């Protein structure tokens, strides 16, 4: 139902049931916010979005108050601006003055807010909190002194991920956000998905930096630093360089990385193809044996961590295949002949959990780590800027051989549902000897957090489910534990929408950006010829020459987790 | 509930509660007379065993009384009653001999018991121990003993809610029933619909006693008219203002009145489940409530199908851990749900969507304790008490620098002057009145121009104060108002839940600013002086913004101590800021101590006690204070036996 209200002396239409903020934004009136998150119930904590409503003494938070017919609203009256300004000044009064050294310098919401509100002088000086940085987690770094307690990370962790690794702690001015018993973030129930980093307005949460490590590696004599680039990263960096969002920059980034000093730059997709083959083979084997269903994907390290923590009795359901990054590491470290000893592998991933994954004890195969450093998309952008590479004036190059050929199925891995689709295609071929028709599985592309499809291969009906976010995964787990039997393969990605929205992706991406990234990945699939992993010449060559067939003992040794680990 | 169906009812209770004729059968009438203490068969000894009594030593008194009775082989009944209101006279010991009125003795600590009881039993008491006697028409009064209701402390009060406090045995439901208790509840169940009760309460003009002053009847109606399969009533007994103890005393002294109020309110809004949210620190109140709830259940007043009316009522206790913010209704609801006790934005109001998403009414203890009275006497009776807009009475916990302290119930519209001078006996030690603090920590400090202010919601709001829950702290001339404001800001910044920025950061900044102006001026850091001054300039703006933008009542009223002290005692602030002087000599950082050479004997006491070694001197020769080192703690001042140290 529509009605009109008066805002700043003008009539605008409002809908019953919406909040004042929604109404204002819809009508093109911008109100600054801090604790507000789209799609979450408002908490009204930050008081930045306050507006003046005639007849009310106090200022009304527009994010939580429903719009009503009688309202006459002023969004930028002197009283409102004074209040907003004072509240931001209060936040700044005990904020560490470290902007120049801050991870988020330039992309900090608090900084922008202070600038927009024209705060040019420190009028209040408060006692600063001396909190230590939390370096305990291998993936995420906490700096509580920069935290402004907007509570976005807490809400996200609690509601979207249903993990609840962090929560408020203490009260009054000594309140902070911490883990249980206020220990470090290395606790078992943080799965390093990094979604909290994406929503943090300041530099209180960010990934553990690997740039210094990479620079160190680059300067090691005799070292051959090999980078492999995730296709999702390639599709996500464009806007950071002022290019059209979603544009695939794989070639340009490869060129830039070579300029920076990497010995070779590969495409992670080649490893994804192997991941598809191995999983499809495993699934086929299980279908034949008719046991251990459903099979859970293992490409998302956050999900693997979660699964191991909360469903230890079901570990045989978890695919033992390594994640694509580790497959690549395994190939590069162990399959490169005599030079392998000098090979150092840097994964460029849209993910913070990979930083945790690379240092897991079971990932030390043979002599050393499979991956030596992981750069997130954000770090990649920093690295390119740091080394002064001008992307606009260099020519794109193809990834280096031998890992330059891939199927388009591998590129789907960046989107929730993509892994299931890619595996379904290959599995169908393995079971029937024919290609899946139509090859595009639209049920797995519907944009929901849960996507389900049943595929008939010969006489067997195979159920595929793709879920993203831990919350959704948990719901599905409850169904499975409750007796659901029609699912054969479950793909889980911990970040909403899949890796395109991963914890290592550029901060501040909106719905539109995400859609463009997805579109970019899907478009390649429509455009190119090799659309299934089993048709990739590179994969076929590998299996013919060395690994015999997917799931063979040699393949297991290379691409599966060691048997003895849990 | 397992035991549905008809319960075996106590014949006495049924006869009183469900009586159809005014005449009671004789045996029951006799039992009632005993319960009402209109006659006794053995001597009865009453001991004020509320928390205030216990703190004053009632536990020891009680033990000695038992010893006395054993020693003298006397058969007597000992009754532990709640607080009668005169906390400064605790422990209070009353004696009622058969046929005589009940005589009350004040400040009876353990060592006095034998003398007093000897005196009482032998009619040979010390007059200065006597507080007064209770009037009772059928009993023989003590000669020359004033009646309690004629004492100035009680004469100027209008004790309605507190009528039973300190008089009846709180752990005996029958005494309450014999005095007309639970009759309102049964009347409500039998004669009125919930809608009608809401109307009665609205007509009576009862307003919330917890601070806001919203019409109770209206609140109930909103909840009643909201469609839902489940509704809740919550009694907010999370009293946490410093210096306030109305709810505690009421629950300790007369818990059944509260339960009756809850029962009526729950019936009115259609709630079958009620919660009492009480803080864990109130141990005695908690015990008293537990006993009372158990008794109410045994007597069939709660539980399924109360008195065959088809109404179910279950009352649960929820024990909070004493966070100030949990007195805010949404924080309280969150807490009962098992979440962190932080407020959530309103609307939706709890009456529409509260506990577990269902309509919930949150009422203060005193509000609910008024309800049985209104049902019993009718709305018109209640409406006649008080002022135009504020009806009924208000209970205050009077503390601070008055002669008498304790629990006082006055009619709305009474002036503060009557309250402080007539009831509480004026200021202690004949000092001058300086300020009174009303409404808890987020209330206001009012100066002497407000003494003639009538106590009602509107006039208090007009002065920037609020009724609050009823804490009333009286301050004399030796109180520093800046320090008072600082104290309350410190309390508030610690108790803020930390959720919203203005309250979390704003109260802290305000405290820091106030703290800096009460501290010793540091001359080596001029930057600090500048910062302090900048802060002072921001203080008022900050106060306004915190009040305007905070999420809940705590933050919205948090600047009140600062705003009101600035209003009435601005010159004191200016003195602190510009002259660096505290006229009450309270602010430690602003005191300068000097040793008068003529008076100093060189005893070295101050020299030895000074924590920062700021005093120099040798034995038997005058000492000196090094001002740069002195932190103004005042230990030397307190320890000097020769009054040789002066404050400037």
pLDDT in tens, B490-525: 999 999 999 999 999 999 999 999 988 888 766 656
CATH tag for A212-559 (out of 3.60.15.10, 3.40.50.300, 3.40.50.1780, 2.10.109.10) = 3.40.50.1780
The reply to whether residue B499 touches residue A151, judged by beta carbons under 8 angstroms, is yes
Nearest residue of chain A to residue B540 (CA atoms): A86
Domain of residue B518, CATH code: 1.20.1440.230
Contact B150, B127 (CB under 8 A): no
Spell out the SS3 assignment of A346-396: EEEECCCHHHHHHCCHHHEECCEECCCEEEEHHHHHHHHHHCCCCHHHCCC
Its sign, for the CA torsion A183, A185, A188, A190, is positive
Nearest residue of chain A to residue B342 (CA atoms): A171
Residues from chain A that touch B496, judged by Cβ atoms under 8 A, are 171-173
Residue B80 belongs to some domain of the structure: yes
Residue B164 distance to chain A (closest CA, Å): 39
Residue B257 belongs to some domain of the structure: yes
The parent domain of residue B562 ranges over 482-579
Structural domain count, chain B: 5
Least CB-CB distance to A126: which of B497, B508, B549?
A: B508
Residues from chain B that touch A173, judged by Cβ atoms under 8 A, are 493-494, 496, 498, 504-505, 507-508
The reply to whether residue A50 touches residue B549, judged by beta carbons under 8 angstroms, is yes
Q: What's the confidence (pLDDT) of residue B12?
A: 73
Q: What's the confidence (pLDDT) of residue A553?
A: 87
- If you count residue pairs, one on A and one on B, with CB atoms under 8 Å apart, how many are there? 121
The reply to whether residue B340 touches residue A168, judged by beta carbons under 8 angstroms, is yes
The reply to whether residue B509 touches residue A86, judged by beta carbons under 8 angstroms, is no
Domain of residue B440, CATH code: 3.10.20.600
- Distance from C-alpha of A254 to C-alpha of A395, rounded to nearest angstrom: 10
Domain of residue B89, CATH code: 3.40.30.10
Question: Does residue B23 have a pLDDT over 80?
Answer: no
Q: Which two tokens stand for residue B467?
A: 């009724």
In CATH, A140-207 is 3.30.70.20: yes
Question: Does residue B631 have a pLDDT over 90?
Answer: no
Look up residue A59 and give its DSSP letter.
Answer: P
The reply to whether residue B345 touches residue A59, judged by beta carbons under 8 angstroms, is no
Domain of residue B628, CATH code: 3.30.70.20
Helices B526-549, B507-517: inter-axial angle, 10-degree rounding = 140
Contact A268, A345 (CB under 8 A): no
Residues B42 and B123 in one domain: yes
A66: number of Cβ within 10 Å = 15
Residues B192 and B240 in one domain: yes
Q: ipTM of this predicted complex?
A: 0.89
Residues B407 and B369 in one domain: no
Residue B593 distance to chain A (closest CA, Å): 30
Residues B197 and B308 in one domain: yes
Residues B352 and B255 in one domain: yes
Residues B200 and B320 in one domain: yes
Residues B575 and B611 in one domain: no
The band of B249, judged by pLDDT with boundaries at 50, 70 and 90, is very high
Choose from A45, A94, A122, A176 for mutation: most chain B CBs within 10 A.
Answer: A45
Spans of all domains in chain A: 2-76, 140-207, 212-559
Tell me the percentage of chain B whose pLDDT exceeds 90.
63
Residues from chain A that touch B551, judged by Cβ atoms under 8 A, are 44-45, 47, 61
Q: CB-based contact (8 Å) between B149 and chain A?
A: no
Residues B495 and B475 in one domain: no
Least CB-CB distance to A45: which of B323, B493, B500?
A: B500
Residues B500 and B596 in one domain: no
Residue B484 distance to chain A (closest CA, Å): 20
The band of A366, judged by pLDDT with boundaries at 50, 70 and 90, is low
pLDDT digits (tens, 9 = 90+) for A111-130: 999 999 999 988 888 888 98
Question: Does residue B61 have a pLDDT over 50?
Answer: yes
**Sheet architecture: strand order including A489-493:** A295-296, A489-493, A460-468, A450-457
Question: Does residue A78 have a pLDDT over 70?
Answer: yes
pLDDT digits (tens, 9 = 90+) for A463-507: 999 999 999 999 999 999 999 999 999 999 999 999 999 999 999
The reply to whether residue B504 touches residue A127, judged by beta carbons under 8 angstroms, is no
**A140-207 matches A2-76 in CATH topology:** no
The reply to whether residue B535 touches residue A124, judged by beta carbons under 8 angstroms, is yes
The reply to whether residue B499 touches residue A123, judged by beta carbons under 8 angstroms, is no
Nearest residue of chain A to residue B542 (CA atoms): A86
Least CB-CB distance to B549: which of A59, A65, A93?
A: A59
Torsion angle in degrees (nearest 10) through CA of B479, B483, B486, B490: -80
Residue B585 belongs to some domain of the structure: no
Residue B22 belongs to some domain of the structure: no
CATH number listed for the domain at residues A2-76: 3.10.20.740
341-360 in chain B: CB under 8 A from chain A: 342, 344-345, 347
Quick one: average pLDDT of B214-236?
Answer: 94
Q: What's the confidence (pLDDT) of residue B288?
A: 94
Least CB-CB distance to A91: which of B342, B493, B505?
A: B505
Residues B472 and B489 in one domain: no
Q: Which pTM does this prediction carry?
A: 0.90
Residue B118 belongs to some domain of the structure: yes
Residue B232 distance to chain A (closest CA, Å): 23
pLDDT digits (tens, 9 = 90+) for B554-598: 999 999 999 999 989 999 998 888 888 888 888 888 888 889 988
**Sheet architecture: strand order including B314-320:** B314-320, B273-279, B232-237, B360-364
Residues from chain B that touch A172, judged by Cβ atoms under 8 A, are 493-498, 504, 507-508
Question: Does residue B427 have a pLDDT over 80?
Answer: yes
Residues whose CB is less than 8 angstroms from the CB of residue B182 and which lie 6 or more positions away in sequence, other chains included: B17, B176, B256, B260, B301
The band of A566, judged by pLDDT with boundaries at 50, 70 and 90, is very low
Q: Which two tokens stand for residue B414?
A: 């009474």
Q: What is the mean pLDDT of chain B?
A: 89
Residues B236 and B93 in one domain: no
Question: Does residue A565 have a pLDDT over 50?
Answer: no
Quick one: average pLDDT of B5-29?
Answer: 68
The reply to whether residue B505 touches residue A90, judged by beta carbons under 8 angstroms, is yes
Q: What's the confidence (pLDDT) of residue B523?
A: 60
Question: Does residue B443 have a pLDDT over 60?
Answer: yes
Question: Does residue A443 have a pLDDT over 60?
Answer: yes
What is residue B197's three-state secondary structure? Answer: helix
Look up residue B519 and give its DSSP letter.
Answer: S
Residue B26 belongs to some domain of the structure: no
Residue B404 belongs to some domain of the structure: yes
Helices A78-93, A109-116: inter-axial angle, 10-degree rounding = 140
Least CB-CB distance to A44: which of B495, B547, B551?
A: B551
Q: Which of B429, B459, B479 is the last residue of a domain?
A: B479
Residues B308 and B360 in one domain: yes
């Amino acid at each position: 139902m529509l009605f009109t209200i008066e805002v700043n002396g003008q009539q605008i239409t409002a809908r019953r049931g919406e909040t004042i903020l929604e109404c204002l934004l819809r009508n093109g009136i911008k109100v600054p916010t801090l604790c507000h998150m789209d799609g979450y119930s408002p908490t009204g904590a930050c008081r930045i979005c306050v507006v003046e409503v005639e007849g009310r003494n106090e200022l009304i938070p527009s994010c939580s108050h429903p719009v009503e017919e009688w309202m006459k609203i002023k969004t930028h009256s002197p009283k409102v601006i004074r209040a907003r300004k004072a509240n931001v000044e209060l936040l700044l009064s005990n904020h560490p003055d470290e902007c120049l050294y801050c991870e988020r310098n330039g992309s900090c919401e608090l900084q922008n807010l202070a600038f927009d509100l024209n705060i040019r002088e420190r009028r209040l000086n408060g006692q600063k909190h001396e909190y230590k940085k939390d370096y305990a987690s291998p993936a995420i770094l906490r700096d509580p002194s920069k935290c402004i307690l907007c509570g976005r990370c807490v809400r996200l962790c609690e509601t979207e991920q249903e993990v609840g690794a962090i929560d408020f702690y203490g009260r009054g001015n000594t309140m902070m956000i911490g883990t249980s018993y206020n220990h470090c973030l290395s606790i078992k129930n943080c799965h390093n998905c990094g979604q909290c980093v994406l929503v943090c307005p300041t530099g209180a949460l960010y990934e553990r930096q690997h740039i210094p490590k990479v620079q160190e590696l680059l300067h090691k004599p005799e070292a051959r630093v090999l980078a492999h680039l995730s296709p999702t990263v390639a599709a996500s960096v464009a806007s950071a360089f002022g290019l059209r969002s979603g544009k695939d920059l794989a070639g340009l980034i490869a060129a830039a990385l070579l300029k920076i000093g990497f010995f070779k730059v590969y495409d992670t997709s080649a490893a994804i193809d192997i991941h598809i083959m191995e999983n499809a083979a495993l699934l086929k084997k299980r279908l034949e044996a008719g046991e251990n269903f459903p099979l859970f994907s293992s490409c998302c390290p956050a999900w693997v961590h979660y699964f191991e923590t909360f469903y230890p009795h079901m570990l045989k359901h978890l695919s033992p295949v390594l994640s694509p990054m580790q497959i690549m590491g395994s190939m590069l470290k162990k399959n490169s002949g005599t030079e392998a000893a000098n090979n150092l592998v840097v994964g460029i991933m849209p993910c913070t959990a990979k930083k945790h994954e690379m240092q897991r004890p079971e990932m030390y195969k043979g002599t050393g780590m499979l991956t030596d450093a992981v750069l997130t998309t954000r770090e990649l952008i920093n690295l390119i800027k740091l080394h002064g590479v001008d992307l606009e004036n260099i020519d794109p190059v193809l990834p280096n051989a031998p890992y330059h050929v891939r199927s388009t199925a591998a590129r789907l891995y960046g989107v929730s549902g993509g892994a299931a689709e890619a595996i379904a295609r290959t599995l169908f071929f393995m079971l029937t000897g024919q290609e899946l028709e139509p090859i595009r599985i639209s049920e797995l592309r519907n944009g929901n957090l849960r996507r389900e499809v049943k595929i008939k291969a010969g006489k067997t009906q195979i159920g595929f489910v793709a879920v993203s976010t831990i919350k959704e995964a948990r719901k599905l787990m409850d169904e499975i534990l409750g007796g659901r039997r029609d699912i054969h393969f479950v793909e889980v990605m911990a970040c909403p929408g899949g890796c395109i929205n991963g914890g290592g992706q550029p901060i501040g991406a909106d719905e539109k950006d995400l859609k463009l990234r997805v579109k970019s990945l899907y478009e390649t699939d429509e455009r190119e010829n090799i659309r299934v992993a089993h048709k990739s010449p590179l994969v076929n060559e590998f299996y013919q020459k060395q690994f015999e067939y997917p799931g063979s003992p040699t393949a297991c040794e290379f691409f599966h987790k060691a048997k003895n680990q849990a | 509930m397992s035991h549905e169906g008809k319960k075996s009812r106590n014949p006495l209770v049924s006869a009183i509660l469900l009586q159809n004729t005014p005449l009671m059968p004789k045996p029951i009438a006799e039992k009632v007379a005993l319960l009402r203490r209109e006659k006794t068969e053995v001597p009865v000894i009453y001991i004020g065993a509320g928390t205030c009594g216990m703190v004053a030593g009632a536990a020891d008194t009680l033990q000695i009384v038992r010893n006395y009775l054993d020693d003298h082989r006397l058969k007597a009944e000992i009754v532990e009653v709640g607080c009668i209101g005169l906390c400064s006279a605790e422990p209070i010991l009353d004696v009622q001999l058969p046929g005589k009125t009940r005589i009350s003795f004040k400040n009876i600590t353990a060592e006095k018991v034998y003398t007093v009881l000897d005196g009482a039993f032998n009619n040979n008491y010390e007059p200065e121990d006597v507080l007064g006697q209770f009037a009772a028409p059928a009993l023989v009064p003590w000669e020359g003993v004033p009646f309690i209701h004629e004492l100035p402390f009680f004469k100027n009060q209008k004790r309605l809610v507190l009528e039973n406090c300190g008089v009846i045995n709180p752990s005996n439901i029958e005494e309450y029933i014999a005095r007309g208790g639970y009759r309102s509840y049964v009347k409500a169940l039998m004669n009125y619909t919930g809608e009608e009760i809401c109307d009665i309460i609205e007509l009576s003009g009862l307003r919330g006693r917890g601070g806001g002053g919203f019409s109770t009847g209206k609140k109930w109606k909103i909840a009643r008219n909201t469609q839902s399969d489940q509704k809740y009533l919550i009694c907010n007994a999370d009293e946490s203002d410093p210096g306030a103890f109305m709810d505690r005393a009421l629950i300790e002294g007369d818990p059944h009145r509260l339960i009756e109020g809850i029962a009526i309110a729950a019936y009115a809004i259609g709630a079958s489940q009620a919660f009492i949210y009480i803080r864990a620190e109130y141990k005695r109140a908690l015990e008293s409530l537990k006993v009372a709830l158990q008794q109410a259940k045994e007597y069939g007043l709660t539980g399924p199908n109360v008195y065959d009316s088809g109404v179910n009522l279950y009352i649960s206790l929820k024990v909070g851990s004493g966070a100030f913010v949990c007195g805010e209704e949404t924080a309280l609801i969150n807490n009962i749900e098992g979440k962190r006790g932080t407020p959530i934005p309103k609307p939706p109001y709890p009456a529409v969507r509260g506990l577990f998403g269902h309509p919930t009414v949150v009422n203060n203890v005193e509000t609910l304790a008024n309800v049985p009275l209104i049902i019993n006497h009718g709305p018109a009776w209640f409406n006649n008490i008080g002022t135009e807009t504020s009806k009924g009475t208000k209970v205050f916990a009077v503390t601070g620098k008055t002669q008498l302290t304790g629990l006082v119930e006055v009619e709305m519209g009474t002036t503060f002057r009557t309250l402080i001078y007539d009831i509480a006996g004026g200021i202690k030690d004949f000092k001058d009145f300086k300020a009174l603090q009303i409404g808890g920590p987020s209330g206001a400090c009012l100066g002497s121009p407000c003494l003639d202010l009538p106590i009602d919601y509107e006039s208090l709001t007009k002065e920037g104060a609020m009724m609050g829950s009823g804490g009333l702290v009286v301050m004399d001339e030796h109180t520093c108002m800046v320090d008072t404001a600082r104290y309350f800001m410190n309390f508030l910044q610690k108790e803020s839940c930390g959720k919203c920025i203005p309250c979390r950061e704003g109260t802290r900044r305000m405290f820091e600013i106030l703290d800096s102006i009460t501290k010793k001026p540091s001359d080596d850091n001029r930057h600090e002086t500048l910062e302090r001054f900048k802060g002072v300039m921001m203080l008022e703006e900050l106060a306004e913004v915190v009040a305007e933008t905070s999420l809940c009542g705590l933050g919205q009223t948090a600047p009140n101590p600062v705003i009101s002290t600035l209003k009435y005692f601005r010159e004191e602030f200016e003195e602190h800021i510009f002259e660096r002087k505290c006229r009450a000599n309270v602010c430690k950082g602003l005191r300068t101590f000097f040793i008068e050479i003529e008076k100093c004997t060189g005893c070295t006491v101050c020299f030895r006690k000074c924590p920062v070694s700021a005093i120099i001197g040798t034995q038997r020769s005058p000492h000196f204070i090094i001002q740069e080192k002195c932190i103004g703690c005042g230990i030397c001042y307190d320890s000097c036996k020769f009054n040789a140290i002066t404050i400037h």
